[in-house]
Amino acid sequence: MIECMKKRRTIRQYTEQEIPESLLNELLEIASRASNTGNMQLYSVVVTRDKAGKEKLAPAHFNQPMITSAPVVLTFCADANRFVKWAEQRKAQAGFDNLQMFIAATIDAMLFAEAFAEAAEERGLGLCYLGTTAYNADQIIRILSLPKLVVPIVTITLGYPAEPLPAQSERLPIEAIRHTEQYVDYTPASIDAFYKEKEELPVNQEFVRINHKETLAQVFTDLRYTKENNEHFSDVLLNVLKEQGFLK
Amino acid sequence: MIECMKKRRTIRQYTEQEIPESLLNELLEIASRASNTGNMQLYSVVVTRDKAGKEKLAPAHFNQPMITSAPVVLTFCADANRFVKWAEQRKAQAGFDNLQMFIAATIDAMLFAEAFAEAAEERGLGLCYLGTTAYNADQIIRILSLPKLVVPIVTITLGYPAEPLPAQSERLPIEAIRHTEQYVDYTPASIDAFYKEKEELPVNQEFVRINHKETLAQVFTDLRYTKENNEHFSDVLLNVLKEQGFLK
Protein backbone atom coordinates (compact mmCIF):
# COMPACT_ATOMS: atom_id res chain seq x y z
CA MET A 1 0.00 0.00 0.00
CA ILE A 2 2.90 2.34 0.71
CA GLU A 3 4.10 1.68 -2.84
CA CYS A 4 0.63 2.50 -4.16
CA MET A 5 0.63 5.76 -2.17
CA LYS A 6 4.07 6.77 -3.44
CA LYS A 7 2.92 6.35 -7.04
CA ARG A 8 -0.49 7.95 -6.55
CA ARG A 9 -1.86 10.36 -9.11
CA THR A 10 -5.25 11.89 -9.68
CA ILE A 11 -7.25 9.99 -12.30
CA ARG A 12 -9.67 12.04 -14.40
CA GLN A 13 -10.31 9.55 -17.21
CA TYR A 14 -12.02 6.24 -16.65
CA THR A 15 -12.73 3.06 -18.61
CA GLU A 16 -16.29 1.86 -19.16
CA GLN A 17 -15.87 -0.83 -16.50
CA GLU A 18 -18.55 -0.62 -13.82
CA ILE A 19 -17.80 -0.74 -10.09
CA PRO A 20 -19.77 -3.54 -8.43
CA GLU A 21 -22.01 -2.52 -5.52
CA SER A 22 -20.31 -5.15 -3.37
CA LEU A 23 -16.88 -3.56 -3.94
CA LEU A 24 -18.20 -0.05 -3.31
CA ASN A 25 -19.83 -1.10 -0.05
CA GLU A 26 -16.73 -3.00 1.04
CA LEU A 27 -14.61 0.11 0.45
CA LEU A 28 -17.05 2.32 2.36
CA GLU A 29 -17.06 -0.16 5.23
CA ILE A 30 -13.27 -0.22 5.35
CA ALA A 31 -13.25 3.59 5.27
CA SER A 32 -15.63 3.72 8.22
CA ARG A 33 -12.80 2.23 10.32
CA ALA A 34 -11.06 5.63 10.09
CA SER A 35 -10.90 7.75 13.22
CA ASN A 36 -13.77 10.11 13.88
CA THR A 37 -14.95 12.47 16.59
CA GLY A 38 -15.89 10.51 19.71
CA ASN A 39 -17.11 7.63 17.51
CA MET A 40 -20.14 9.74 16.60
CA GLN A 41 -19.37 9.33 12.88
CA LEU A 42 -20.56 12.80 11.92
CA TYR A 43 -20.57 12.12 8.18
CA SER A 44 -22.60 10.67 5.33
CA VAL A 45 -21.92 9.89 1.71
CA VAL A 46 -24.33 10.18 -1.20
CA VAL A 47 -23.56 7.80 -4.08
CA THR A 48 -24.60 8.92 -7.56
CA ARG A 49 -24.66 6.36 -10.36
CA ASP A 50 -27.66 7.45 -12.42
CA LYS A 51 -26.86 9.42 -15.55
CA ALA A 52 -29.61 11.92 -14.77
CA GLY A 53 -28.25 12.45 -11.27
CA LYS A 54 -24.75 13.12 -12.58
CA GLU A 55 -26.09 15.57 -15.13
CA LYS A 56 -27.86 17.46 -12.38
CA LEU A 57 -24.66 17.62 -10.30
CA ALA A 58 -22.38 18.62 -13.20
CA PRO A 59 -23.14 22.39 -13.27
CA ALA A 60 -22.45 22.63 -9.52
CA HIS A 61 -18.97 21.33 -10.36
CA PHE A 62 -18.53 23.84 -13.21
CA ASN A 63 -19.22 21.00 -15.68
CA GLN A 64 -15.90 19.32 -15.08
CA PRO A 65 -16.23 16.25 -17.33
CA MET A 66 -15.32 13.70 -14.61
CA ILE A 67 -18.76 14.06 -13.05
CA THR A 68 -20.61 12.62 -16.02
CA SER A 69 -17.84 10.31 -17.27
CA ALA A 70 -17.05 8.52 -13.99
CA PRO A 71 -19.12 5.41 -13.23
CA VAL A 72 -19.58 6.55 -9.62
CA VAL A 73 -19.70 10.00 -8.00
CA LEU A 74 -19.50 10.21 -4.21
CA THR A 75 -20.47 13.35 -2.30
CA PHE A 76 -18.99 13.30 1.20
CA CYS A 77 -20.95 15.34 3.72
CA ALA A 78 -20.42 16.71 7.21
CA ASP A 79 -23.51 15.27 8.91
CA ALA A 80 -24.72 16.01 12.44
CA ASN A 81 -28.32 15.31 11.45
CA ARG A 82 -28.24 11.55 12.06
CA PHE A 83 -26.64 11.94 15.48
CA VAL A 84 -29.07 14.67 16.55
CA LYS A 85 -32.08 12.65 15.39
CA TRP A 86 -30.80 9.71 17.44
CA ALA A 87 -30.27 11.94 20.47
CA GLU A 88 -33.75 13.44 20.21
CA GLN A 89 -35.22 9.96 20.08
CA ARG A 90 -33.29 9.01 23.20
CA LYS A 91 -34.26 11.84 25.55
CA ALA A 92 -30.95 13.64 24.93
CA GLN A 93 -30.54 17.36 24.14
CA ALA A 94 -27.84 17.77 21.49
CA GLY A 95 -26.35 21.24 21.05
CA PHE A 96 -24.71 20.51 17.73
CA ASP A 97 -25.98 23.53 15.78
CA ASN A 98 -22.73 25.46 15.91
CA LEU A 99 -19.39 26.06 14.19
CA GLN A 100 -17.33 23.71 16.33
CA MET A 101 -19.57 20.79 15.47
CA PHE A 102 -19.46 21.76 11.81
CA ILE A 103 -15.66 21.55 11.96
CA ALA A 104 -15.81 18.23 13.84
CA ALA A 105 -18.17 16.86 11.19
CA THR A 106 -15.94 18.22 8.40
CA ILE A 107 -12.92 16.50 9.96
CA ASP A 108 -14.90 13.25 10.21
CA ALA A 109 -16.08 13.50 6.60
CA MET A 110 -12.54 14.13 5.35
CA LEU A 111 -10.96 11.26 7.28
CA PHE A 112 -13.68 8.98 5.94
CA ALA A 113 -13.20 10.26 2.37
CA GLU A 114 -9.42 9.88 2.43
CA ALA A 115 -9.54 6.40 3.97
CA PHE A 116 -12.01 5.51 1.22
CA ALA A 117 -9.66 6.96 -1.40
CA GLU A 118 -6.66 5.00 -0.11
CA ALA A 119 -8.61 1.73 -0.04
CA ALA A 120 -10.09 2.33 -3.50
CA GLU A 121 -6.68 3.07 -5.03
CA GLU A 122 -5.22 -0.02 -3.37
CA ARG A 123 -7.94 -2.01 -5.16
CA GLY A 124 -6.92 -0.58 -8.53
CA LEU A 125 -9.48 2.19 -8.83
CA GLY A 126 -8.59 5.75 -9.77
CA LEU A 127 -10.19 8.91 -8.50
CA CYS A 128 -10.34 12.66 -8.53
CA TYR A 129 -11.29 14.90 -5.62
CA LEU A 130 -13.42 17.92 -6.51
CA GLY A 131 -13.14 20.94 -4.25
CA THR A 132 -16.01 22.62 -6.07
CA THR A 133 -18.37 20.92 -3.61
CA ALA A 134 -17.84 23.54 -0.91
CA TYR A 135 -18.09 26.32 -3.53
CA ASN A 136 -21.55 25.39 -4.72
CA ALA A 137 -22.75 23.64 -1.59
CA ASP A 138 -26.11 25.43 -1.89
CA GLN A 139 -26.82 23.83 -5.26
CA ILE A 140 -25.66 20.39 -4.14
CA ILE A 141 -27.84 20.58 -1.01
CA ARG A 142 -30.85 21.15 -3.26
CA ILE A 143 -29.94 18.45 -5.78
CA LEU A 144 -29.24 15.74 -3.19
CA SER A 145 -32.03 16.82 -0.77
CA LEU A 146 -29.63 17.35 2.13
CA PRO A 147 -31.50 18.27 5.34
CA LYS A 148 -30.42 20.71 8.04
CA LEU A 149 -27.10 19.90 9.79
CA VAL A 150 -25.76 18.29 6.60
CA VAL A 151 -23.23 20.14 4.40
CA PRO A 152 -21.45 18.63 1.38
CA ILE A 153 -17.68 19.07 1.73
CA VAL A 154 -15.93 17.19 -1.02
CA THR A 155 -16.72 15.00 -4.03
CA ILE A 156 -14.83 12.03 -5.41
CA THR A 157 -15.28 10.78 -8.97
CA LEU A 158 -14.36 7.12 -9.16
CA GLY A 159 -13.63 4.56 -11.83
CA TYR A 160 -11.04 2.26 -13.33
CA PRO A 161 -8.16 4.33 -14.75
CA ALA A 162 -8.04 4.73 -18.54
CA GLU A 163 -4.63 4.44 -20.19
CA PRO A 164 -2.33 6.21 -20.54
CA LEU A 165 -2.01 7.23 -16.90
CA PRO A 166 -1.27 10.91 -16.36
CA ALA A 167 2.12 11.99 -15.02
CA GLN A 168 2.46 12.35 -11.28
CA SER A 169 2.23 15.99 -10.24
CA GLU A 170 5.01 17.63 -8.28
CA ARG A 171 5.03 18.34 -4.55
CA LEU A 172 6.94 20.81 -2.42
CA PRO A 173 9.93 19.33 -0.58
CA ILE A 174 8.90 17.99 2.81
CA GLU A 175 11.01 20.66 4.56
CA ALA A 176 8.58 23.23 3.17
CA ILE A 177 5.67 21.51 4.94
CA ARG A 178 7.27 20.35 8.17
CA HIS A 179 8.11 22.51 11.15
CA THR A 180 9.91 21.21 14.23
CA GLU A 181 8.89 22.25 17.73
CA GLN A 182 7.94 25.76 16.54
CA TYR A 183 6.52 27.14 13.30
CA VAL A 184 9.40 28.99 11.68
CA ASP A 185 7.88 31.53 9.34
CA TYR A 186 8.99 31.62 5.73
CA THR A 187 11.57 34.12 4.55
CA PRO A 188 12.14 35.37 0.99
CA ALA A 189 15.12 32.99 0.82
CA SER A 190 13.21 29.93 2.05
CA ILE A 191 10.28 30.67 -0.27
CA ASP A 192 12.69 30.87 -3.20
CA ALA A 193 14.32 27.60 -2.22
CA PHE A 194 11.09 25.68 -1.57
CA TYR A 195 9.32 26.79 -4.78
CA LYS A 196 12.35 26.56 -7.09
CA GLU A 197 11.72 23.05 -8.37
CA LYS A 198 8.00 23.72 -8.93
CA GLU A 199 8.70 26.93 -10.83
CA GLU A 200 11.37 25.35 -13.01
CA LEU A 201 9.24 22.39 -14.12
CA PRO A 202 8.66 22.63 -17.89
CA VAL A 203 4.95 21.86 -17.46
CA ASN A 204 4.57 24.81 -15.07
CA GLN A 205 6.60 27.16 -17.23
CA GLU A 206 4.35 26.24 -20.15
CA PHE A 207 1.35 26.94 -17.92
CA VAL A 208 2.65 30.49 -17.29
CA ARG A 209 3.37 31.04 -20.99
CA ILE A 210 0.00 29.93 -22.39
CA ASN A 211 -1.82 32.03 -19.80
CA HIS A 212 0.28 35.08 -20.67
CA LYS A 213 1.36 35.58 -17.07
CA GLU A 214 4.64 36.69 -15.59
CA THR A 215 4.83 34.16 -12.75
CA LEU A 216 3.31 30.80 -11.84
CA ALA A 217 1.77 32.30 -8.72
CA GLN A 218 -0.19 34.73 -10.91
CA VAL A 219 -1.80 31.80 -12.72
CA PHE A 220 -3.28 30.78 -9.37
CA THR A 221 -4.26 34.21 -8.09
CA ASP A 222 -5.44 35.77 -11.37
CA LEU A 223 -7.13 32.78 -13.01
CA ARG A 224 -7.80 29.80 -10.79
CA TYR A 225 -8.39 31.13 -7.25
CA THR A 226 -9.16 34.81 -7.65
CA LYS A 227 -9.88 37.03 -4.68
CA GLU A 228 -13.25 37.89 -6.22
CA ASN A 229 -14.30 34.24 -6.58
CA ASN A 230 -12.93 33.27 -3.19
CA GLU A 231 -14.93 36.04 -1.56
CA HIS A 232 -18.08 35.29 -3.50
CA PHE A 233 -17.96 31.59 -2.61
CA SER A 234 -17.15 32.46 1.01
CA ASP A 235 -20.41 34.41 1.16
CA VAL A 236 -22.25 31.43 -0.35
CA LEU A 237 -20.68 29.12 2.24
CA LEU A 238 -21.49 31.45 5.14
CA ASN A 239 -25.11 31.44 4.02
CA VAL A 240 -25.06 27.65 3.67
CA LEU A 241 -23.76 27.27 7.23
CA LYS A 242 -26.57 29.51 8.46
CA GLU A 243 -29.25 27.80 6.36
CA GLN A 244 -28.11 24.33 7.40
CA GLY A 245 -28.12 25.34 11.05
CA PHE A 246 -24.41 25.39 11.89
CA LEU A 247 -24.09 29.15 12.39
CA LYS A 248 -26.37 31.71 13.96
CA MET B 1 -2.94 -2.41 3.56
CA ILE B 2 -6.65 -3.14 3.27
CA GLU B 3 -6.18 -5.80 5.97
CA CYS B 4 -4.40 -3.25 8.15
CA MET B 5 -7.28 -0.79 7.65
CA LYS B 6 -9.92 -3.38 8.52
CA LYS B 7 -8.19 -4.14 11.80
CA ARG B 8 -7.40 -0.54 12.66
CA ARG B 9 -7.89 0.76 16.17
CA THR B 10 -6.86 3.91 17.95
CA ILE B 11 -3.67 3.44 19.96
CA ARG B 12 -3.33 5.52 23.12
CA GLN B 13 -0.48 3.65 24.82
CA TYR B 14 2.99 3.48 23.37
CA THR B 15 6.24 1.65 23.99
CA GLU B 16 9.46 3.53 24.74
CA GLN B 17 10.72 2.87 21.20
CA GLU B 18 11.67 6.06 19.41
CA ILE B 19 10.56 6.89 15.87
CA PRO B 20 13.59 7.62 13.67
CA GLU B 21 13.60 10.99 11.89
CA SER B 22 14.15 9.18 8.59
CA LEU B 23 10.94 7.15 9.05
CA LEU B 24 8.94 10.20 10.12
CA ASN B 25 10.10 12.18 7.10
CA GLU B 26 9.43 9.27 4.76
CA LEU B 27 5.86 9.00 6.08
CA LEU B 28 5.31 12.75 5.71
CA GLU B 29 6.63 12.61 2.17
CA ILE B 30 4.32 9.73 1.28
CA ALA B 31 1.41 11.63 2.84
CA SER B 32 2.19 14.66 0.71
CA ARG B 33 1.16 12.56 -2.32
CA ALA B 34 -2.45 12.88 -1.11
CA SER B 35 -4.78 15.07 -3.13
CA ASN B 36 -4.96 18.73 -2.24
CA THR B 37 -6.57 21.90 -3.52
CA GLY B 38 -5.12 22.84 -6.90
CA ASN B 39 -1.73 21.45 -5.82
CA MET B 40 -1.30 24.49 -3.59
CA GLN B 41 -0.73 22.23 -0.53
CA LEU B 42 -2.47 24.54 1.91
CA TYR B 43 -1.21 22.73 5.00
CA SER B 44 1.71 22.43 7.40
CA VAL B 45 2.62 20.11 10.23
CA VAL B 46 4.45 20.95 13.42
CA VAL B 47 6.36 18.02 14.93
CA THR B 48 6.84 18.02 18.70
CA ARG B 49 9.38 15.65 20.22
CA ASP B 50 10.81 17.69 23.12
CA LYS B 51 9.42 16.86 26.54
CA ALA B 52 9.04 20.55 27.35
CA GLY B 53 7.12 21.17 24.15
CA LYS B 54 4.70 18.32 24.89
CA GLU B 55 4.17 19.60 28.40
CA LYS B 56 3.26 23.00 27.01
CA LEU B 57 0.76 21.45 24.60
CA ALA B 58 -0.84 19.09 27.12
CA PRO B 59 -3.23 21.57 28.81
CA ALA B 60 -4.60 22.63 25.39
CA HIS B 61 -5.57 18.97 24.96
CA PHE B 62 -7.17 18.81 28.42
CA ASN B 63 -4.10 16.93 29.66
CA GLN B 64 -4.96 13.76 27.80
CA PRO B 65 -1.95 11.56 28.69
CA MET B 66 -1.11 10.61 25.08
CA ILE B 67 0.42 14.05 24.49
CA THR B 68 3.23 13.56 26.97
CA SER B 69 3.56 9.76 26.65
CA ALA B 70 3.79 9.54 22.84
CA PRO B 71 7.28 9.83 21.34
CA VAL B 72 5.98 12.17 18.64
CA VAL B 73 3.10 14.65 18.55
CA LEU B 74 2.05 16.10 15.18
CA THR B 75 -0.13 19.19 14.89
CA PHE B 76 -1.69 19.41 11.43
CA CYS B 77 -2.56 22.93 10.35
CA ALA B 78 -4.61 24.58 7.65
CA ASP B 79 -1.96 26.89 6.15
CA ALA B 80 -2.48 29.57 3.51
CA ASN B 81 0.47 31.57 4.83
CA ARG B 82 3.17 29.83 2.80
CA PHE B 83 1.21 30.14 -0.44
CA VAL B 84 0.41 33.81 0.15
CA LYS B 85 4.04 34.61 1.01
CA TRP B 86 5.08 32.93 -2.24
CA ALA B 87 2.45 34.86 -4.19
CA GLU B 88 3.50 38.20 -2.69
CA GLN B 89 7.08 37.47 -3.64
CA ARG B 90 6.01 36.74 -7.22
CA LYS B 91 3.97 39.86 -8.01
CA ALA B 92 0.70 38.00 -7.42
CA GLN B 93 -2.23 39.28 -5.32
CA ALA B 94 -3.68 36.39 -3.33
CA GLY B 95 -7.17 36.86 -1.85
CA PHE B 96 -6.98 33.92 0.53
CA ASP B 97 -8.12 35.69 3.71
CA ASN B 98 -11.62 34.25 3.70
CA LEU B 99 -13.78 31.33 4.82
CA GLN B 100 -13.68 29.38 1.56
CA MET B 101 -9.89 29.26 1.64
CA PHE B 102 -9.98 28.25 5.29
CA ILE B 103 -12.18 25.29 4.32
CA ALA B 104 -9.92 24.43 1.37
CA ALA B 105 -6.90 24.50 3.69
CA THR B 106 -8.75 22.40 6.27
CA ILE B 107 -9.59 19.82 3.61
CA ASP B 108 -5.94 19.78 2.51
CA ALA B 109 -4.70 19.38 6.09
CA MET B 110 -7.10 16.51 6.75
CA LEU B 111 -6.25 14.59 3.59
CA PHE B 112 -2.57 14.98 4.43
CA ALA B 113 -3.15 13.87 8.04
CA GLU B 114 -5.19 10.82 7.09
CA ALA B 115 -2.77 9.72 4.39
CA PHE B 116 -0.02 10.08 6.99
CA ALA B 117 -2.06 8.01 9.45
CA GLU B 118 -2.64 5.22 6.94
CA ALA B 119 1.03 5.06 5.98
CA ALA B 120 2.17 5.14 9.61
CA GLU B 121 -0.18 2.32 10.60
CA GLU B 122 0.95 0.27 7.62
CA ARG B 123 4.50 0.63 8.97
CA GLY B 124 3.46 -0.74 12.37
CA LEU B 125 2.98 2.53 14.22
CA GLY B 126 -0.11 3.30 16.29
CA LEU B 127 -1.80 6.64 16.70
CA CYS B 128 -4.56 8.66 18.23
CA TYR B 129 -6.30 11.68 16.66
CA LEU B 130 -7.11 14.50 19.07
CA GLY B 131 -10.04 16.71 18.16
CA THR B 132 -9.22 19.05 21.02
CA THR B 133 -6.95 20.94 18.62
CA ALA B 134 -9.82 22.95 17.11
CA TYR B 135 -11.27 23.54 20.60
CA ASN B 136 -8.19 25.23 21.97
CA ALA B 137 -6.75 26.48 18.72
CA ASP B 138 -6.01 29.84 20.34
CA GLN B 139 -3.66 28.26 22.91
CA ILE B 140 -1.97 26.05 20.32
CA ILE B 141 -1.40 29.02 18.02
CA ARG B 142 0.46 30.74 20.85
CA ILE B 143 2.46 27.68 21.89
CA LEU B 144 3.59 26.78 18.36
CA SER B 145 3.99 30.41 17.16
CA LEU B 146 1.55 29.98 14.27
CA PRO B 147 1.36 33.12 12.12
CA LYS B 148 -1.72 34.60 10.43
CA LEU B 149 -3.46 32.35 7.89
CA VAL B 150 -2.43 29.26 9.85
CA VAL B 151 -4.94 27.41 12.06
CA PRO B 152 -4.28 24.09 13.84
CA ILE B 153 -7.01 21.57 12.96
CA VAL B 154 -6.11 18.18 14.36
CA THR B 155 -3.34 16.50 16.34
CA ILE B 156 -1.95 12.98 16.06
CA THR B 157 -0.02 11.31 18.86
CA LEU B 158 2.25 8.65 17.41
CA GLY B 159 4.30 5.73 18.68
CA TYR B 160 4.76 2.00 18.61
CA PRO B 161 1.69 0.29 20.14
CA ALA B 162 2.07 -1.06 23.67
CA GLU B 163 0.53 -4.46 24.38
CA PRO B 164 -2.17 -5.45 24.94
CA LEU B 165 -3.87 -3.76 22.00
CA PRO B 166 -7.25 -2.22 22.79
CA ALA B 167 -10.42 -3.74 21.34
CA GLN B 168 -11.64 -2.36 18.05
CA SER B 169 -14.49 0.10 18.59
CA GLU B 170 -17.84 -0.44 16.89
CA ARG B 171 -19.14 1.36 13.82
CA LEU B 172 -22.63 2.01 12.50
CA PRO B 173 -23.69 -0.33 9.68
CA ILE B 174 -22.70 1.11 6.31
CA GLU B 175 -26.38 1.54 5.34
CA ALA B 176 -26.58 4.17 8.09
CA ILE B 177 -23.84 6.21 6.40
CA ARG B 178 -24.57 5.66 2.73
CA HIS B 179 -27.34 7.29 0.73
CA THR B 180 -28.03 6.46 -2.90
CA GLU B 181 -28.89 9.15 -5.45
CA GLN B 182 -30.75 11.21 -2.81
CA TYR B 183 -30.32 11.72 0.92
CA VAL B 184 -33.18 9.82 2.54
CA ASP B 185 -33.73 11.38 5.93
CA TYR B 186 -33.76 9.15 8.99
CA THR B 187 -37.03 8.00 10.52
CA PRO B 188 -37.63 6.82 14.09
CA ALA B 189 -37.59 3.26 12.74
CA SER B 190 -34.33 3.63 10.80
CA ILE B 191 -32.65 5.34 13.76
CA ASP B 192 -33.69 2.45 16.01
CA ALA B 193 -32.38 -0.09 13.52
CA PHE B 194 -29.05 1.66 12.82
CA TYR B 195 -28.18 2.33 16.49
CA LYS B 196 -29.42 -1.01 17.90
CA GLU B 197 -26.09 -2.83 17.80
CA LYS B 198 -24.21 0.15 19.29
CA GLU B 199 -26.71 0.53 22.11
CA GLU B 200 -26.72 -3.17 22.94
CA LEU B 201 -22.93 -3.49 23.21
CA PRO B 202 -22.00 -4.40 26.80
CA VAL B 203 -19.23 -1.78 26.83
CA ASN B 204 -21.71 0.94 25.91
CA GLN B 205 -24.33 -0.25 28.37
CA GLU B 206 -21.67 -0.14 31.09
CA PHE B 207 -20.82 3.38 29.94
CA VAL B 208 -24.44 4.45 30.50
CA ARG B 209 -24.56 2.74 33.90
CA ILE B 210 -21.38 4.21 35.39
CA ASN B 211 -22.38 7.68 34.23
CA HIS B 212 -25.83 7.31 35.79
CA LYS B 213 -27.59 8.14 32.55
CA GLU B 214 -30.74 6.79 31.00
CA THR B 215 -29.48 6.45 27.42
CA LEU B 216 -26.17 6.24 25.58
CA ALA B 217 -27.00 9.41 23.66
CA GLN B 218 -27.21 11.28 26.98
CA VAL B 219 -23.62 10.31 27.78
CA PHE B 220 -22.61 12.23 24.67
CA THR B 221 -24.89 15.24 25.04
CA ASP B 222 -24.70 15.65 28.83
CA LEU B 223 -21.06 14.77 29.47
CA ARG B 224 -18.82 14.61 26.43
CA TYR B 225 -20.16 17.13 23.90
CA THR B 226 -22.41 19.45 25.84
CA LYS B 227 -24.27 22.30 24.19
CA GLU B 228 -22.55 24.70 26.58
CA ASN B 229 -19.05 23.50 25.69
CA ASN B 230 -19.82 23.28 21.98
CA GLU B 231 -21.03 26.87 21.99
CA HIS B 232 -18.13 28.13 24.06
CA PHE B 233 -15.57 26.49 21.79
CA SER B 234 -17.44 27.74 18.73
CA ASP B 235 -16.96 31.28 19.99
CA VAL B 236 -13.26 30.57 20.55
CA LEU B 237 -12.96 29.20 17.01
CA LEU B 238 -14.81 32.15 15.48
CA ASN B 239 -12.36 34.47 17.20
CA VAL B 240 -9.44 32.35 16.03
CA LEU B 241 -10.65 32.57 12.41
CA LYS B 242 -10.87 36.35 12.74
CA GLU B 243 -7.51 36.68 14.49
CA GLN B 244 -5.77 34.44 11.97
CA GLY B 245 -7.25 36.40 9.09
CA PHE B 246 -9.74 33.91 7.61
CA LEU B 247 -12.90 35.79 8.58
CA LYS B 248 -13.76 39.46 8.63
Contact B174 A150 (CB under 8 A): no
Q: CA A133, B240, B10: angle at the middle one, nearest 5?
A: 70
- According to CATH, the topology of domain B2-166 is NADH Oxidase (3.40.109)
Q: Which residues, in sequence order, are bridge partners of residue B156?
A: B74, B129
**Do B96 and B167 meet the contact criterion of CB atoms below 8 Å apart?**
no
Q: What is the C-alpha to C-alpha distance for residues B45 and A93, in angstroms, rounded to an integer?
A: 36
A49 to chain B: closest CA residue: B181
Q: What is the pLDDT of residue B83?
A: 98
Which stretches of chain B score pLDDT less than 50? none
Q: What is the C-alpha to C-alpha distance for residues B248 and B241, in angstroms, rounded to an integer?
A: 8
Q: How many CA atoms within 13 Å lie on the side-chain side of B242? A: 7
Residues in A closer than 8 angstroms to B217, CB to CB, are 86-87, 89-92, 94
**Do B34 and B123 meet the contact criterion of CB atoms below 8 Å apart?**
no
For the CA atoms of chain B, what is the radius of gyration? 20
A147 to chain B: closest CA residue: B185
For residue A223, pLDDT over 90 is answered with yes
Instruction: Give A64→chain B minimum CA distance, Å.
Output: 14
Neighbours of A163 (CB within 10 A): 6
For the CA atoms of chain A, what is the radius of gyration? 20
Q: Which residues, in sequence order, are bridge partners of residue A14?
A: A161
Q: What is the C-alpha to C-alpha distance for residues B134 and B237, in angstroms, rounded to an integer?
A: 7
Q: What is the pLDDT of residue B1?
A: 80
Best of B37, B48, B81, B99 to disrupt the A interface (most A CBs within 10 Å) is B99
Q: What is the C-alpha to C-alpha distance for residues B180 and B13, in angstroms, rounded to an integer?
A: 39
Q: What is the pLDDT of residue A219?
A: 97
Average pLDDT in the A171-181 region? 98
- What are the residue ranges of helices labelled H in chain A? 2-6, 21-31, 51-57, 66-69, 81-89, 99-122, 132-135, 137-144, 174-177, 188-200, 202-210, 216-218, 227-243
Q: CA B43, B114, A217: angle at the middle one, nearest 5?
A: 25
Ranges of each domain in chain A: 2-166
Average pLDDT in the A134-151 region? 98
Residues in B closer than 8 angstroms to A129, CB to CB, are 35, 111
Contact A216 B90 (CB under 8 A): yes
SS3 content of chain A, % helix, strand, coil (to 5): 55, 15, 35
Instruction: Give A121→chain B minimum CA distance, Å.
Output: 10
Q: What is the pLDDT of residue A39?
A: 97
In a 3-state reduction of DSSP, which class is residue A244?
coil
Cβ-in-10-Å burial (0-12, 13-18, 19+) of B212 comes to: exposed
B45 to chain A: closest CA residue: A178
Distances (CA, A) of B119 to A25, B5, B28, B219, B235: 23, 10, 9, 33, 35
B141 to chain A: closest CA residue: A183
Q: What is the pLDDT of residue B62?
A: 97
Instruction: Give A112→chain B minimum CA distance, Å.
Output: 9
Contact B95 A228 (CB under 8 A): yes
For residue A1, pLDDT over 90 is answered with no
Q: What is the DSSP string of B172-183?
A: --HHHHEEESB-
Best of B66, B170, B181 to disrupt the A interface (most A CBs within 10 Å) is B181
Residues in A closer than 8 angstroms to B83, CB to CB, are 220
For residue A167, what is the DSSP state? P
How many beta-carbon pairs under 8 angstroms link A with B?
355
Residues in A closer than 8 angstroms to B89, CB to CB, are 188, 191-192, 217
Q: What is the pLDDT of residue A98?
A: 98
Confidence of residue A162 (pLDDT cuts 50, 70, 90): very high
